[in-house]
Amino acid sequence: MTRKQRRMTIIGGSLAVLALAAALVLNALRDSIVFFSTPTMVAEKHVAPGKRFRLGGLVQPGSLRRGDNLAVTFEVADGGAKLPVAFKGILPDLFREGQGVVAEGALDDNGVFKADTVLAKHDETYMPKDVADALKKQGHWKDDYGAQASGGAKPAATTAQGNSQGAVR
């Protein structure tokens, strides 16, 4: 083989591998990408049952119900809409009502989001970024809650104004 032929062989091989990789990536992008949604987006876009996505929002206070054998249901809200979520398993250490949460799963036929993973905020100042961004974008940031907190904390004497939003950065 001449030098040129050898080079062509190598270049041909490289192109073949690259084409293979590109095909694999395009194929994977078609079905294995998980999108992020908030309850409002779910309501607007009518996500089909069974399509996996990540749901983010705040755990609606008062909605957490524990069933038998670690089954839990709660609602995720983003100010605009609410979506019921069912999960079976151990909730993360920092899962709380009124706090940000991200769940991954799919809707069932009754419009209940069946989650197989639930992530809560990691520490006192961390909110799952998807949630924070989405809430900010919608203008549903914690203004309402914050206002109520600073307005609310007070009949007796101590104040915590300003700090009441400390839980969310």
Partner 1 sequence: MTLWFVFALMTVAAIFAVLWPLGRSGRAQNQGSEVAVYKDQLVEIERDLATGLIAAPEAAAARVEISRRLLAAAGSELVSEPKSSLKWRRAAAVLALAGLPLVAIGVYMPLGSPRLPDFPLAQRERGSGMAQSLENMVVQVEQHLEKNPTDGRGWNVLGPVLQRLGRFDDAVRAYRNALTYNGESAERRSDLGEAISAAAGGVVTAEAKTEFERAHALSADDPKANYFLGLAAEQDGRKDDAANIWRALLAKAPADAPWRPLVQTSLARVGGGGATLPALSDETLAASKDMNEGDRNAMVRGMVERLATRLKQNGDDVEGWLRLVRAYLVMGDRDKAVGASTDARQAVASDAARLRQLNEGLKTLGLDG
Partner 2 sequence: MIAEAGHYALVLALALALIQSIVPLVGARLRDDALMNVARSTALAQLLFVGASFIALVTLHVNSDFSVANVYENSHSMKPLLYKITGVWGNHEGSMLLWVSILALFGGLVAAFGNNLPLSLRAHVLAVQAWIASAFYLFILVTSNPFLRIANPPIEGRDLNPVLQDIGLAVHPPMLYLGYVGFSISFSFAIAALLEGRIDAAWARWVRPWTLVAWIFLTLGIAMGSYWAYYELGWGGWWFWDPVENASLMPWLAGTALLHSALVMEKRNALKVWTILLSILTFSLSLLGTFLVRSGVITSVHAFATDPTRGVFILLILCLFIGGSLSLFAARATSLKQGGLFAPISREGALVLNNLLLTVACAVVLFGTLYPLAMEMLADFKMSVGAPFYNLTFAPLFTLLLLAVPFGPLLAWKRGDLLGVTQRLLAAGVAGLVAVAIVWGWARGGSALAPLAIGLGIFVIAGAVTDIVERTGLVRLPFATALHRARGLPRSAWGSALAHAGLGVALIGIVCETTWNSEYIATMKQNDVAHVAGYDVKLDGLFQRQGPNYREMIAEFNVSHDGEALSVMTPSKRNFTTRGSSTTEAALLTRGASQLYISLGDTTAEGTIAVRIYHKPLVLLIWWGPVLMAFGGVLSLSDRRLRVGAPKPARAKQRLQPAE
Question: What is the torsional sign of CA 144, 85, 128, 49?
Answer: negative
Closest CA to 57 of 92, 94, 99, 95: 99
- Ranges within 111-140 binding partner 1 (CB under 8 A): 124, 138-139
Which residue among 52, 61, 84, 104 contacts partner 1 (CB under 8 A)? Answer: 61
Q: What are the distances in angstroms from CA 74 to CA 55, 69, 86, 133, 143?
A: 13, 16, 7, 22, 23
Tokens representing 144 are 């309402």
Q: Does 155 bind partner 1 (CB under 8 A)?
A: yes
Which residue among 84, 97, 106, 112 contacts partner 1 (CB under 8 A)? Answer: 97
Which entry of partner 1, partner 2, none binds 19, CB below 5 to 8 A by partner kind? Answer: none
- Ranges within 88-107 binding partner 2 (CB under 8 A): 89-91, 93-94
Q: Give me the least distance between CB of 20 and partner 1, in Å please.
A: 35
Q: Does 136 bind partner 2 (CB under 8 A)?
A: yes
Q: What are the distances in angstroms from CA 31 to CA 78, 145, 169?
A: 27, 38, 33
Give the separation between CA 103 and CA 74, rounded to whole angstroms: 11
Beta bridge partners of residue 55, listed in sequence order: 37, 103
Question: Under the rule (CB under 8 A), what is the footprint of partner 2?
Answer: 1, 3, 6, 9-10, 13-14, 17-18, 20-21, 24-25, 27-29, 31-36, 54, 69-70, 89-91, 93-94, 123-124, 129-130, 132-134, 136
